[in-house]
């Protein structure tokens, strides 16, 4: 239980972060937790697994990769504890393996849209988006990247580190400079935390203004996202919840206490309408955002359902 709570804490505090990584982290924790517990019968096992699933799924509300991963593992079967444990292990390993392959495949597909000499702008830190840049670079295309800081958590610093280690020339800019530099950009490549049935993209706060600036300058916007980033429940009319994070990420509590009439708003994500997205690059192909529904139907159809009182779908 201690290890389970520790993983949940790490996801919540963003020690484990990135929509793909938190999905793989949750799947791995469910597998390991199942391996560690010694319940008296299958009934008790199922109850413990439901609790673990609910706890992990509730750590961050926006990235749909997280509940999709939890659901993928919680489809386990078994009449005995032993059977259930091995079913969970198989499903979790499958999810993690598919997820890692998907990121690689997105790179191979997405690189076809990158030309030699392109300057790419990116936002935050997305392993799927970086996979495209890495693949283009590995093919010998001479690309350079403009990366935003991505306040308040500065995930842009992770991006420049990763690109630098690959040998890709990168400029770091403040978030408010995206429109200023858009004239130098050939292509925008970003990740996603969730994609709705109508093709809207939910990603790190600031994504929508970057996409808007790109649209104004007629620059293409590619979203790199595995199929498990698509949200089945949006078909049922549900909106994706935007995570509001602690004010301390923006300004220290001490500093804030100096003011009487100031509060902080810190949404972690925003919504980019599909009009500002040219292509969503998934592991099963590059699709226009209008086709998001098809991905949900073909690849995640079994996921649609309502949450029960335990917080599990
Ligand atoms: P990959 C991140 O969320 C960013 O918004 C990033 O664009 C998205 O997840 C996708 O990342 P956060 O965890 O799955 O930093 O492509 O809040 O790595």
Q: Where do the domains of the chain lie?
A: 2-101, 106-306
Of all residues in the chain, what percent are helix, strand and coil, respectively (each to 5)? 50, 15, 35
C-alpha 33/C-alpha 243 separation (Å) is 27
Point out the ligand 1 atom lying closest to the alpha carbon of residue 229: 14
CA of 75 to the centre of ligand 1 (A): 25
Q: Which residues pair with 220 in a beta bridge?
A: 187
Domain 2-101 bears CATH identifier 1.20.120.420 = yes
What tens digit of pLDDT does each residue of 1-37 get? 899 999 999 999 999 999 999 999 999 999 999 999 9
Ligand 1 first shell, C-beta below 6 A: 17-20, 124, 126-128, 155, 191, 193, 203-204, 268
- Using H for helix, E for strand and C for coil, what is the string for the chain? CHHHHHHHHHHHCCCCCCHHHHHHHHHHHHHHHHHHCCCCCHHHHHHHHHHHHHHHHCCCCCCCHHHHHHHHHCCCCCCCHHHHHHHHHHHHHHHHHHHHHHHHHHHHHHHHHCCCCCEEEECCCCHHHHHHHHHHHHCCCCCEEEEECCCCCCCHHHHHHHHHHHCCEEEEECHHHHHHHHHHCCEEEECCCEECCCCCEEEECCHHHHHHHHHHCCCEEEEECCHHHECHHHHHCCCCCCCECCHHHCCCHHHHCCCCCCCCCCECEEEECHHHCCEEEECCEEECHHHHHHHHHHHHHHHCCCCCCCCCC
CA of 281 to the centre of ligand 1 (A): 15
pLDDT for the residue numbered 311: 44
Mutate to test the pocket of ligand 1, among 191, 205, 231, 241 (most ligand atoms within 8 A of CB): 191
Q: What percent of the chain has pLDDT over 70?
A: 96
CA of 45 to the centre of ligand 1 (A): 32
Point out the ligand 1 atom lying closest to the alpha carbon of residue 23: 14
What tens digit of pLDDT does each residue of 152-206 get? 999 999 999 999 999 999 999 999 999 999 999 999 999 999 999 999 999 999 9
Catalytic residue among 124, 175, 278, 281: 124
Is there a contact between 192 and 209 (Cβ–Cβ < 8 Å)?
no
What tens digit of pLDDT does each residue of 237-258 get? 889 999 999 999 999 999 999 9
CA of 225 to the centre of ligand 1 (A): 10
Annotated catalytic residue 124: yes
Does this chain's domain 2-101 share its CATH topology with 106-306?
no
C-alpha 270/C-alpha 268 separation (Å) is 7
Which is the CATH superfamily of the domain at 106-306? Translation initiation factor eif-2b; domain 2 (3.40.50.10470)
Residue of the CA atom closest to atom 1 of ligand 1: 126
Residue of the CA atom closest to atom 12 of ligand 1: 18
Q: Which pTM does this prediction carry?
A: 0.94
Point out the ligand 1 atom lying closest to the alpha carbon of residue 17: 13
**Both tokens of residue 291?**
């086709």
């Amino acid at each position: 239980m201690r290890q389970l709570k520790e993983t949940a804490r790490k996801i919540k505090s963003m020690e484990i972060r990135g929509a793909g990584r938190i999905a793989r982290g949750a799947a791995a924790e469910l597998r390991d937790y199942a391996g560690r517990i010694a319940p008296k019968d299958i009934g008790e096992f199922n109850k413990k697994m439901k609790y673990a699933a609910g706890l992990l799924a509730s750590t961050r509300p926006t990235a749909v990769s997280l509940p999709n991963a939890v659901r993928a593992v919680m489809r386990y079967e078994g009449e005995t504890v032993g059977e259930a444990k091995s079913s969970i292990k198989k499903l979790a390993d499958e999810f993690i393996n598919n997820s890692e392959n998907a990121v690689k495949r997105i790179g191979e597909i997405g690189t076809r849209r990158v030309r030699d000499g392109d300057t790419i702008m990116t936002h935050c830190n997305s392993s799927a988006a970086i996979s495209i840049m890495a693949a283009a670079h590995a093919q010998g295309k001479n690309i350079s990247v403009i990366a935003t800081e991505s306040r308040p958590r500065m995930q842009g610093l992770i991006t420049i580190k990763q690109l630098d280690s690959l040998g890709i020339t990168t400029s770091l800019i403040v978030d408010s400079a995206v429109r200023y530099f858009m004239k130098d950009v050939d292509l925008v490549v970003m990740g996603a935390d969730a994609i709705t049935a109508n093709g809207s993209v939910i990603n790190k706060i600031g994504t929508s203004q970057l996409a808007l600036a790109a649209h104004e300058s007629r620059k293409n916007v590619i979203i790199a996202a595995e199929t498990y980033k698509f949200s089945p429940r949006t078909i049922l009319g549900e909106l994706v919840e935007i995570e509001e994070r602690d004010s301390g990420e923006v300004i220290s509590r001490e500093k804030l206490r100096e003011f009487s009439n100031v509060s902080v708003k810190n949404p972690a994500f925003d919504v980019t309408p599909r009009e500002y997205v040219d292509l969503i690059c998934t592991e099963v192909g590059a699709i226009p955002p209008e086709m998001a529904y098809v991905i949900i139907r073909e690849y995640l159809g079994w996921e649609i359902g309502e949450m029960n009182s335990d917080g599990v779908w």
